Amino acid sequence: MTIHDVVRSAAARGPRAHRRKHGRRGVRPRRTNPSDGTGFARALPSSSLVKMYVTRFAPSPTGPLHLGNALSAFIGWSRAREQGGRFLLRIEDIDTSRCRREHDDAARADLAWLGLDWDGPVLRQSERGAIYAEAIARLRAMGLEYPCFCSRADIAAAASAPHGPAHGADGPVYPGTCRHLSDAERNRRMASEAFAWRLDVAAALAMTGPLAWHDSAAGHVPADPGAAGDIVVGRKQIGVSYHLAVVFDDAAQGVTEVVRGADLFEATHVQRLLQALLGLPTPRYHHHPLLTDSDGRRLAKRDGAPTLAALRAAGVDPATVRAALRQACAAPATPWRLGELAPPSHL
């Protein structure tokens, strides 16, 4: 049965009380003794744990988990279990304006229903603000940050102008408008205007020299952080950027391989730079193909992708979903397709 069959079957049957068949109990997470994750220095893994395979699933609770999220979680869980390693759960909820606790709770319930157990306590980024603030301060003390007063509209306007900057993985590449402001002007504007802290990527690369990272499909990848421009590492509303939070959390949790979708491949370039600057370990990466619909569009929350909650409410057997995910990895075919990268060989 394919993923398409799973969704079609669920739609035909309609909602039903799933607990009639499976009861109320989900899969209870494994209890181990991981690092507590309360602080960077205390949370760094011991040398013995570094040798163990560790990966993580890190959803943002901005909506319910869909089948594309399930694929990523399933691949990471499978790779960890096959290697006798650890599968960790992290909730990336730094954007408190968009994240909701009910989606956090639902994600854990969905994973338990699907039979994907995780090791140890859940790490939540919203509880680690002081750790991230310390990292931002360290980069500033190194002379690698500057305040940026440009709005998203300002950057978009610059990108749309003739001969404007290119687009990167995070949207229009920042043209460096505020990079060369004088200290006097920066101080004056910081007193009254909203601003974000940006990383001077050219200066950072001059400090680190050439960098590289390893991807399971692409192999040795020379890092090219400059393609993304001077990225934001901190802002007033959120406090820290996704890139900075991710590299600190991967180090704190002892992650040895990052398993995530191919849409985040380009983000690895700037994350590799941050690892080098902050003295953090560099894990290996496994960027898996994305699950797409029959039109080749990536499954996304905003497009109404089939959710695990809907499948569960329709009485679908989670074993059927796992089998469909395994089949999608091993032999992608229409009307449900994976991207251009080779499917994982481990599944």
Predicted pLDDT at 237: 66
- What are the extents of the domains in the chain? 3-128+255-330, 130-246
| Domain pair 3-128+255-330 / 130-246, same fold | no
- Pairing mode, strands 171-172 and 167-168: antiparallel
Predicted pLDDT at 37: 33
Predicted pLDDT at 337: 42
Residues 204, 231: contact at Cβ < 8 Å?
A: no
Segments in the chain forming alpha helices (H): 3-13, 19-22, 40-43, 47-50, 67-82, 101-114, 129-141, 152-160, 183-190, 201-208, 242-252, 267-278, 308-313, 318-330
Architecture of domain 3-128+255-330: 3-Layer(aba) Sandwich (3.40)
What is the rounded distance in angstroms from the CA atom of residue 248 to the CA atom of residue 130? 12
| pTM of the complete model | 0.80
In sequence order, the 6+-apart residues with CB closer than 8 A to the CB of 279 are none
Edge-to-edge strand ranges of the sheet holding 86-91:
54-57, 86-91, 123-124
Predicted pLDDT at 12: 57
Which of 3.40.640.10, 3.40.50.12280, 3.90.800.10, 3.20.20.70 would CATH assign to domain 130-246? 3.90.800.10
Predicted pLDDT at 165: 54
SS3 237: coil
Kindly state the DSSP code that residue 63 receives in the 8-state scheme.
Answer: S
Rounded (5°) CA angle 323-265-40: 95
Predicted pLDDT at 226: 94
Q: Average pLDDT of each block of 10 consecutive residues along the chain (347 residues)?
A: 51 48 41 34 44 93 89 96 97 86 92 96 94 95 96 76 56 88 96 95 97 96 96 85 96 97 94 98 94 73 77 89 84 40 32
DSSP string, 36-60: --SSHHHHSPPHHHHTS-EEEE---
